Amino acid sequence: MWEQLAASLTDGLLLGFVYGLAAMGLTLIWGVMSVINLAHGPVIALGMFGTYLLFTHLGLNPYLAVVIVAVLGLPAGFLIYGVAVHRVINAPHLSSLLATFAVNMIIIGIGTAVFSTSPQNIDFSMGTLEAGPLTVPGTRFVAAFGAVLFTAGLYLFLYFSRPGKAIRAVANNRRAAELMGIPSSLILALSFGLGTMLATAAGGLIATFFPFTILSGGIYELKSFVICVLGGLGHPLGALLGGLILGGLEGLVPTFMPVSWVPVVEFGLFVLVLLVKPSGLMGAK
């Protein structure tokens, strides 16, 4: 029993880091510009396919491919922001919701036409790490470590660089930031780019251990919403915490009940947080 619990919890928590990274992109965009990005899932899937293509066609190490894909995610985010979000940024939320939903449909449509919906797989092994009752595939461990690195990088950027500080200023009060001479349009584009970058990185890391299709991002987008609400919308560190809670639950619940109960518990918690602490665990009071 305890062995199963330890093994299951470890698997869940390792996955939780990657969930957290995926949710961080969503929460950053929401926090800075109050846009619910419905293109988040397909962008995660694009990260998966980008990593897959660099691995299979150019023979790159998948982790190097994840870095390249993440870097490419930045201009991709600029593009999505410029084409679909910028003009509706001050419009009611429904406009930006529909605009990002349109981007979602476009990416899925093109992705289905190009890649089909057949499952793809990055055939790469990092061996297995063993410690007592724990047997963890190396790819999951490296993915969790990668997620921590990306999170640390984001924090260093947000707290110790001028553009990062500008992002925080715009998130805090866009009008005041503009009065201080911060070009808010550029900062909003940069934030969207960073959010997209984090999503593609998460997708790339997930692709190193799970098979995927162009539709696979949907499930991680759904989890990202739960995580954002758990951790507090607009709070990147809260997203990581939320990811760990969700991953922990996914490890914990199957030990005591059938795996099919996991979503029931997850979404039960989602509703509970919305009722008791709508701002999330790390959100403002």
CA 26 to chain CA centroid, nearest Å: 6
Contacts of 127 (CB under 8 A, 6+ apart): 137, 138
Choosing from 255, 265, 269, 277, the residue that interacts with other proteins (CB under 8 A) is: 255
The 197-226 contact track toward other proteins, x by CB under 8 A, reads: -------------xxxx--x----------
CB of 143 to other proteins, least distance (A): 12
Is residue 114 at the binding interface for other proteins, with CB under 8 A as the rule? Answer: no
Among 66, 167, 244, 262, binds other proteins (CB under 8 A): 262
Please say whether the dihedral angle defined by the alpha carbons of residues 244, 271, 219 and 109, taken in this order, is positive or negative.
Answer: negative
The only residue of 112, 161, 173, 185 in contact with other proteins, by rule CB under 8 A: 112
* 225 Cβ contact list (under 8 Å, min separation 6): 26
Number of other residues whose CB lies within 10 A of the CB of residue 172:
11
Structure tokens at 180: 């201080």
| DSSP conformational letter for 120 | B
Taking CB under 8 A as the rule, does residue 154 contact other proteins? Answer: no
Counting contacts by CB under 8 A, is residue 163 touching other proteins? no
Closest CA to 99 of 40, 186, 46, 38: 38
Residue 109 engages other proteins in binding (rule: CB under 8 A)? no
Kindly list the residues in this chain that would bind other proteins in the complex (CB under 8 A): 4, 7-8, 11-12, 15, 112, 116-119, 121, 123, 125, 128, 130, 135, 137, 210-213, 216, 250-251, 254-255, 258-260, 262
